[in-house]
A and B are shown apart, each in its own frame.
Chain A
Amino acid sequence: MAAVSETPAADRASTAEELLAVDSIHTYYGQSHILFDLSLSIDRGEIVALVGRNGAGKTTTLRSVLGLTPPAEGTIAKDGEPIDGLEPYEIRKRGISWVPEERRVFGGLTVEENLRLAASTGEGDQSDGFEDVYERFPRLDERRSQKAGTMSGGEQQMLAIARALLGPETDVLLLDEPSEGLAPQIVDDVADIVRELNEEEGVTILLVEQNAEMALELADHAYVLENGRIVHDSPAAELLADREAMEGYLGVK
C-alpha cells in the first residue's frame, strides 16, 4: 500500500466485526487488467467511502464484490464466508445489495412494479417492507403507478435505493455514484437517506463517489483508488483534512 495509514484495516478488525473482506483481488474486463491486488475491509455498521478519479476502478470493485465481473484472483468474504465465485443472485441473497451507477430502474415498469419485483425474492410476506419503503420515500408512494422512466433523476435514485432494500435482508449496501447528475439539494437528500439507513437501520454502506467531499463527510473510513490500486486507506475525516492528499489523489482544491 502506497500511503501509510494510521489505522490500518487489520487494527480496526480487532475491535469491530468485519462484515466484508476483499482480499488481494485481480479483476479483468476481457483482456484488460483493471484491479491490481486490491484489498478492502468493511466493518459492520460502518460507512466506507471508495473515492478516486474517473476510470480508477471504483465501479469494477463493486462489480467484483457483486459477482457481476468476478475477480480472476483473490478472495471476497462476507461474515467470514467466501462469496467469490457465487452467482450475482446468490450474493444478493447473502445480504449484499446494489444501487448501480445511473440507477438502472426498469423504466417501462411502474414504481410499484419495480418494487414488487425486488420484493419477490424475499421470504415470506413482504408487505411490511413495502409500507416501510413507502413511509421512508413518500415521493414513491405518490407515484406508485407512474412509469419509473418518466420520473426525475432524484426520484429514480430514491427508487433505486428502495428497490435495493426490498427482498432479502440487506446487510451491506453498495452505492455507485448516487449523487451523479443530481441537483445539489437532491444530493443532500440522498446523503440524508444514506446516513439514516446507516444509523437507524444499521445498514453497512460502501459508497463509491466522484463527489469525494460528499462521500468523505458521510463516511467513517475512506479508501482512495488510483489505476486499479488502493493508494490510500485512512479514517475519512483524516483524508478530508489532508488538503495535499485531497488535491493529489482527487484533484479537490
Chain B
Amino acid sequence: MIESVLRATLLGLQLGMTLALIAAGLTLIFGMLDVINFAHGALYMLGAYFGTVVAGQLGSFWLALVLAPLMVGLVGAAIEIFSLRPLYDRNPLYHILLTFGVAIMIQGAIIEIWGAQSMQIPVPDLLSGSVSVGPVNYPVYWLFVLAVSTLLIAVVWLAIERSDLGILMRASAHDTEMVSALGIDVSKVFTGVFVFGAVLAGVAGVLLGGSRSVHPGMGFGIIIETFIVVVIGGLGSFRGAVYAALLIGLVTAYGALIAPTLTDLFLFAMMAIVLMAKPSGLFGATEAA
C-alpha cells in the first residue's frame, strides 16, 4: 500500500512538473500576447520528433535535450513573427483559428516526414534501469525527468520574480502600451516570450519522448490536459500554472490507483468546479502583475 502511494506520488510529481513546463509557456503567452496558442501542443510534439532525429543522427540524448528545444524555439519565432504578429489587433477568434491551423499543419508535416508509426527517443545507459527509492523500485529516467523539469521550473520562477526580464514580462502582461511608451520595443518582447514558451514545450517533448511513445497524436493529446491546467491555475498566471500542474499530475496518478477509468472525469470535474467557484482560476485575479 505505502509502496503504491509513494510510487504514485513520484509519478504524479513527474507528470505535474512536465505539464508545468508546457503550461508555463501557454499561460505566459496568453498573459502577455493575449493569444490562446492552440499550436502549443504541436510545439511540444515537435520537441519530441526533433529529439528523436537529433538523438538518432548524432547518437546523443544529451545533444537532443539541448538542440531539439532550440529548434522548436526557431519554429516558434517563425510562427510568431510571420503569422501571429499581423493579427494582434484582430479579434481573438483569429488567433484561435490561426494557431489551430498551425497545429494541424505541424501534425500533417510530421506524418508526411516521419509517418504515423510510433517512435521513441533512445535513453542513454546512464539513465536506464531503475533505482530503489525507499521501498519502491523506480526507473532512473523518470527521476531524471522529474529533476530536470523541477529545476527548470525553479529557474524560470526565480527569473520571473527577480530578474529585469521578469519585471519586463510582468509589466507587459499588465499594460503593454505603457511599457512601449517607456521606450521598450514590445514586439521583441512578444517574440521572446513566444520563443521561450516554445523552448520549454520542446524540453518537455524531449523528456517525455524518452519515456512515452512519440507519435503524431501526442500534440492534441497534451493540449487538453494543458488547457485544464491553465484554466484551473488562472489564465496568464505562471504561479497558478505550476500549482495546477502539480495538482493535476497528482490527481491523475492517485486516480489511476483508485479508479483508473474515472481519472479524466476527475480532471474535467475539477475544472468545472473551479470555473463555477472562481472563473478567473485559482491565481487568475490575485496575480495582477
Contact = CB atoms under 8 A, between A and B. Distances in A.
Interface of A: 66, 68, 87-89, 92-93, 98, 100, 104, 106-109, 113-114, 116-118, 120-121, 149, 163, 167-168
3 closest A-B pairs (Cβ-Cβ)?
A: A108-B289, A121-B183, A92-B183
A108 B167 contact: no
Interface in B145-197: 164, 167-168, 170-171, 174-175, 177-186
B177 A106 contact: no
B171 A117 contact: yes
Do most interface residues of chain B lie in helix, strand or loop, or is the interface mixed? helix
B175 A109 contact: no
A121 B185 CA distance: 10
A116 B170 contact: no
Interface of B: 164, 167-168, 170-171, 174-175, 177-186, 287-289
Contacts, number: 69
A121 B181 CA distance: 11
A106 B183 contact: no
Nearest to A99: B181
A156 to B, nearest CB: 13
Contacts of B167: 109, 113, 116-117, 120
B184 A98 contact: no
A107 B288 contact: yes
Contacts of B178: 100, 104, 106
27 contacts: A66-B181, A68-B177, A87-B180, A87-B185, A88-B180, A88-B181, A89-B186, A92-B182, A100-B178, A104-B175, A104-B178, A106-B170, A106-B178, A107-B174, A107-B288, A108-B170, A109-B170, A109-B289, A113-B170, A116-B167, A117-B168, A117-B179, A117-B184, A121-B183, A149-B288, A163-B182, A167-B183
Contact of A89 (B168, B171, B174, B180): B180
A109 B178 CA distance: 14
B286 to A, nearest CB: 9
A93 B184 CA distance: 9
B180 A108 contact: no
A113 B161 CA distance: 10
A100 B175 CA distance: 12
Nearest to A167: B183
Nearest to A122: B183
Given A87-B180, A117-B168, 7 more contacts: A68-B180, A89-B185, A106-B178, A116-B164, A120-B168, A149-B288, A167-B183
